[in-house]
Amino acid sequence: MIEAMAVPAGPIWLCSGLGAVLGAMVGSFLGAVVVRLPAGRSIVNGRSACDSCGRVLAPIDLVPVLSYLALRGRCRTCRAPIDPWQFACEAGGAIIGAVPWLVAGSILHAAAAMLMGWVLLLLAVLDLRHFWLPHRVIAVLAGMAGLFAGVRSWEAGWNGAVLVPAIAGGMIGFAILWTVRIVYRRSRGRDGMGAADPLLLGAIGLWIGPLGVIEVLLGASILGIAAALALLLTARKVAADTPLPLGTLLAAAAWPLFLAQGFG
């Protein structure tokens, strides 16, 4: 069984290193998506170019992480700053690719954590930068959860012990935030939460189950309080209606939880 196959002890550092390289490459692609998707540009067509001078980037400029560090975050030609989120996506993707092989209990868990983490990274950055959670990206996250749930259910002989918690987690995650959103809108006369946030928690619930949903909400709340305190410490004004990227907070809480506990 795939899930029962433990991560090989011998080449664990090799797996982690290869995962980091693959993750950096995925992160490089995600960095381009973060820029192109909100602008309505194709994420598959067109060569990479400097956003300031328009120069088509050479292969030496596109080595994930290393090129950014070598160029000190600036275009080789015009010296304009390179979007720091490109580096953040590359470094984050590398970490997500490397860490699961060091801590996951099985090959299936490690592979799932990588895929889940990369999609959550994209959603977290998009929400942090644009307060936008694309439904199609959330659908990818949910589809992956359904695929892994199907594989695990097949391994368990289709006895429902896998599918039921996954479906329950998805439904509960969506229902909690959807209820909060509706109650807030009716009591305050305005939206206090985006329509995509309940969908995101529902997709996360498919991975981590009902209990995991509660733990993610608690973790996201703690992160939100920490973010508000950080804003106060930097002399930023924080009011009751100061927007916080809930999707980013949910993603930041969900991935470590899944890494530590596995499927719900």
pLDDT of residue 241: 67
* Residue of higher predicted confidence among 256 and 190: 256
User: Is pLDDT of 31 > 90?
Assistant: yes
Which residue pairs from 134-141 have beta carbons closer than 8 angstroms and sit at least 24 positions apart in sequence? 134/37, 134/196, 135/196, 135/199, 138/196, 138/199, 138/200, 138/203, 139/203, 141/116, 141/200, 141/203, 141/204
User: Is pLDDT of 1 > 50?
Assistant: no
Q: At what angle do helices 246-261 and 107-130 cross, to 10 degrees?
A: 170
Please state whether 65 falls in left (phi above 0), alpha (psi between -120 and 50) or beta: left
Distance of alpha carbon 192 from alpha carbon 209, whole angstroms: 26
pLDDT of residue 56: 83
- What is the model's pTM? 0.92
pLDDT of residue 190: 85
User: Is pLDDT of 240 > 80?
Assistant: no
pLDDT tens, position by position, 54-101? 778 888 888 999 999 998 889 888 888 888 999 999 999 999 999 999
| Amino acid found at 112 | A
3-state DSSP assignment of residue 37: coil
pLDDT band at 10 (very low <50, low <70, confident <90, very high): low
pLDDT of residue 231: 81
* Residue of higher predicted confidence among 218 and 56: 218
* Residue of higher predicted confidence among 105 and 151: 151
User: Is pLDDT of 34 > 50?
Assistant: yes
Q: What is the dihedral of CA 139, 145, 151, 152, to 10 degrees?
A: -160
Distance of alpha carbon 144 from alpha carbon 170, whole angstroms: 13
- Shortest CA distance to 31 belongs to which of 51, 58, 17? 51
**Domains in the chain: boundaries:** 7-103, 134-264
Looking at the DSSP assignment, which residues form a beta bridge with residue 74? 81
Distance of alpha carbon 184 from alpha carbon 111, whole angstroms: 38
* Residue of higher predicted confidence among 64 and 43: 64
pLDDT tens, position by position, 117-131? 999 999 999 999 999
Burial of residue 233 (CB within 10 Å: 0-12, 13-18, 19+) is exposed
Residues 177 and 201: beta-carbon distance below 8 Å: yes
* Residue of higher predicted confidence among 105 and 218: 218
pLDDT band at 6 (very low <50, low <70, confident <90, very high): low
Residues 245 and 129: beta-carbon distance below 8 Å: no
Average pLDDT over residues 96-118: 94
pLDDT tens, position by position, 153-212? 888 888 778 899 999 999 999 999 999 999 999 998 888 888 999 999 999 999 999 999
The percentage of the chain sitting over the pLDDT mark of 90, rounded to a whole number, equals: 61
